[in-house]
Structure 1
């Protein structure tokens, strides 16, 4: 992909939009210093991406490590000396001196021993430095402001994996608030890109299971598993027992490490309990509090920290204002809490095959099922968007209360357009998703009933189509309904682009 004449290296998989944003940031023709913040959970390939960018531009890259302020300053001086070609190490007394010198070197004419700093400067693992030198954001802010009135080539990128720290750099009254021209979050690969990355795009059933366990984290295939990929769906059970469930695999304790690495998490037992509650199906604030034996008000902080860390996501009910549910955002953590943690002692003793054999129903209900619902919503937002005849509204899920039947109807996928200018809010799509169930006329009746109830509550449902997503298939009666119109059927082949959806949405 070409952007401003710079081609993304072929070894960087996907990340087209991220690469274009980074190139546009570096090449923006402003004569003043610019700042960018790059964040994302660990194992997403941020360093890999930024190193490729630095290689393309000949920029300066410094990867911080956990250490004291003095040691980190010494390492920074050594790295900068190597970059500018200085025959002697650059010695800085304070970080104030180091940051001032870095910006001065990036100004026209800034040189050291015949070398010069290029316009691109990347400081990776920035939270390590902030921990030992909390004045760094203020020092960078001062230099950014100082170099707004003088010519500078500086294009500085601060990168880190501690999401709570990186998110706080530009928040509220933080020193760097309003100084950044780029804020890029490197997220996991989408489910289709992940299937391509793992080389299983031609087997949607296998791809769906891999994504339900490991998500779209690129490091898990090559760095963690050395390209150990199941050959086909039949090989999946053996593969998961020798990798994720094996005490000798680096993935075995990865979920614990992901939680422990977050700077704002102190009591890991409490946070694991919160995540376990959600994994067990307790998705409301009250349900989570009841599961762990706390009052709802007492879990506000851990919920906020987990959200800030991108380990938990809160999803609003599209039909009921003020109502929401929580979902574990990291598939491996959800798999750990639902399948591994309850049988941890047995897994440590090497009983992976037995544990996995007994976890079939739990995996389907607590891991694959909820994950499949989220993938279906991603499909509607992305590849399936063209199936809707109206503009895309809010995509989410919600509950429709049926007072007459004294029941609640869960709608897994919904597209709702808010009302404006006196118009009623409209519902463009209602969908149900099932991982292990062949869907039939009963599911059609339930969604029809939800549509009727929403119309009675004032929603415009005149152009509302019904969609059914299933990893197990559809009955003949439901297929016949799709052929008559107004009903859409989407299976795994359709989700992964190997077939066209059955039926259409009016």
Structure 2
């Protein structure tokens, strides 16, 4: 089942319909569905699909040569796969270098539209550092008289953003579009798991971070509890070893990165605290954190409206990693000793607490989705979390969402509660008090609640025109 990706598909369609040379960069973290998106777009279209491999250039040239031969045979045989087709591909001559293979592809695209996909482009660039320059020269020679559409796809975020999209890359200025494929939001997760209730779909979203490959492990004919038991914490399931496998694939020192993520999951949030917890120098720890940020696992954050380095904190951005590192190491003795049923009961007791930050993300998604709907007090232009000290009590205060927009003197303040009891008037009064710490001239207040609201806060919202109540059931 193919779900969502309407914006990404629309971009690819526009580039296809131009009938001119196009070079589209598709990037995003592993497991996010880049290849699935490209394959869905390619259905019914003439294409040479070249999956680069972790090998030397000879191995990659053989793979590319086979891909070109496969396309030629499909054209010659009107798309029919025969024994001759298989033999032709197997015996295809190997191009002597990447440049001659590219020349052949550009010639094939002189008179008809053709797509060349290079999947996992970083593998190819690793095999031969000159590849980007060779590709650049081929594009410069043929772009004005070619109907070729190139799609370069890669999972190595730092490589794609710095060495393909970056200013110093030979390909800088040759791309005609770029698509960053993001994890699914809650709305698309609901489509992915149609048998689930809204609440169970929300928890599944939190458990998987909206990563399609992780969502495929969730069975919506089973309860959330059983999915956690058998599809996340069972030692034999795919997701149990996924964090470690991903770190090994992407990073050179997985043990150090594992230690840093564990420290953040255990409550460390500032650089010196994380470094101290991991027994590292702060300079080394800073480098590791930067790489985790590139991978989308960790997020660097300052209070909304501030940019002071002293207030910078780090948190686990990927909610699947947040879940795994919070619950699996602590329950590993139970899991490894065959007591997974006890472990899952312990985890489920803390599920509402885990979902608090997930619900905040869902509420921000709802705000952006409804930004021009008339449901908000003004058009939002920026939003984020805020925290800081109360000068009166010297205690730390926090506001889940603060937003500003096209009314410069107005601010929106939001409180998000994922609890089993209705939100009360106390939450609204606390939010009003905390908002005073930001000195907004005009404040607007929104309460988001998983379980609705009690009568007292409902009555207050009827009297106060600056208050909006959003029940999860209506999101």
Shared fold per TM-score greater than 0.5: yes
* Corresponding residue of 2:243: 255
- Measured against aligned partners, the alpha-carbon deviations of 1:269-326 in whole angstroms (never above 9, x if no partner) come to 2212222233233333344334323344332211111111122222342133334433
- 1:481 aligned onto 2:467: no
* Corresponding residue of 1:112: none
* Corresponding residue of 1:381: 368
* Corresponding residue of 1:159: 153
Q: 1:453 to 1:390 in 2, by over 3 A?
A: same
* Corresponding residue of 1:493: 473
* Corresponding residue of 1:498: none
Matches within 5 A, 1:314-329: 314-322=300-308, 323-329=311-317
- 1:467 aligned onto 2:446: yes
- 1:135 aligned onto 2:130: yes
Paired residue for 1:193, among 179, 188, 194?
188
Alpha-carbon distance in structure 2 between the residues aligned to 1:84 and 1:288: 56
* Corresponding residue of 2:212: 218
* Corresponding residue of 1:422: none
Alpha-carbon distance in structure 2 between the residues aligned to 1:293 and 1:477: 50
Decide whether the 8 Å contact of 2:3 with 2:191 is kept in 1.
no
Q: 1:280 to 1:478 in 2, by over 3 A?
A: farther
Matches within 5 A, 1:110-121: 118-121=113-116
Any idea what SS the aligned residue of 1:482 has? helix
Matches within 5 A, 1:31-430: 33-85=21-73, 87=88, 89-108=92-111, 118-148=113-143, 150-168=144-162, 169-200=164-195, 203-222=197-216, 224=217, 228-231=219-222, 235-262=223-250, 265-322=251-308, 323-360=311-348, 362-365=350-353, 367-383=354-370, 386=373, 387-417=375-405, 425-430=408-413
Q: 1:295 to 1:370 in 2, by over 3 A?
A: farther
* Corresponding residue of 2:6: 16
Stretch deviating more after TM superposition (356-365 or 372-381): 356-365
Give 1:71 shift: 1.4
Alpha-carbon distance in structure 2 between the residues aligned to 1:244 and 1:121: 37
Give 1:185 shift: 1.1
Q: 1:410 to 1:256 in 2, by over 3 A?
A: same
Alpha-carbon distance in structure 2 between the residues aligned to 1:415 and 1:338: 29
Give 1:411 shift: 0.6
Decide whether the 8 Å contact of 1:400 with 1:450 is kept in 2.
no
Q: 1:321 to 1:165 in 2, by over 3 A?
A: closer
Any idea what SS the aligned residue of 2:296 has? coil
Give 1:66 shift: 2.5
RMSD of the TM alignment (CA)? 2.3
* Corresponding residue of 1:443: 427
Alpha-carbon distance in structure 2 between the residues aligned to 1:377 and 1:296: 32
Give 1:200 shift: 4.2
Any idea what SS the aligned residue of 1:51 has? helix
Decide whether the 8 Å contact of 1:400 with 1:454 is kept in 2.
no
Decide whether the 8 Å contact of 1:376 with 1:433 is kept in 2.
yes
* Corresponding residue of 2:18: 28
Give 1:75 shift: 1.4
Alpha-carbon distance in structure 1 between the residues aligned to 2:254 and 2:457: 47
Task: Name whichever structure is richer in helix by fraction.
Answer: 2
Stretch deviating more after TM superposition (315-324 or 74-83): 315-324
- Measured against aligned partners, the alpha-carbon deviations of 1:410-456 in whole angstroms (never above 9, x if no partner) come to 0111112489xxxxx5343101122236432332222111222222x
Q: 1:251 to 1:288 in 2, by over 3 A?
A: same
Decide whether the 8 Å contact of 1:311 with 1:328 is kept in 2.
yes
Any idea what SS the aligned residue of 1:310 has? coil
Alpha-carbon distance in structure 2 between the residues aligned to 1:180 and 1:382: 29
Decide whether the 8 Å contact of 1:467 with 1:489 is kept in 2.
yes
- Measured against aligned partners, the alpha-carbon deviations of 1:157-183 in whole angstroms (never above 9, x if no partner) come to 011222222222111311111211111
Task: Compute the TM-score of the two structures, normalised by the length of structure 2.
Answer: 0.89
Q: 1:290 to 1:441 in 2, by over 3 A?
A: farther
Q: 1:372 to 1:98 in 2, by over 3 A?
A: same
* Aligned residue pairs, count: 454
Q: 1:126 to 1:494 in 2, by over 3 A?
A: same
Give 1:51 shift: 1.4
Alpha-carbon distance in structure 1 between the residues aligned to 2:167 and 2:349: 45
Alpha-carbon distance in structure 2 between the residues aligned to 1:171 and 1:52: 28
Decide whether the 8 Å contact of 2:27 with 2:179 is kept in 1.
yes
Any idea what SS the aligned residue of 1:175 has? coil
Give 1:345 shift: 4.1
* Corresponding residue of 2:83: none
Task: Compute the TM-score of the two structures, normalised by the length of structure 1.
Answer: 0.83
Give 1:218 shift: 2.0
Alpha-carbon distance in structure 2 between the residues aligned to 1:103 and 1:243: 46
Structure 1: segments with no counterpart, 5+ residues: 1-10, 109-116, 420-424, 496-506
Alpha-carbon distance in structure 2 between the residues aligned to 1:406 and 1:59: 63
Structure 2: segments with no counterpart, 5+ residues: 77-87
Q: 1:328 to 1:345 in 2, by over 3 A?
A: same
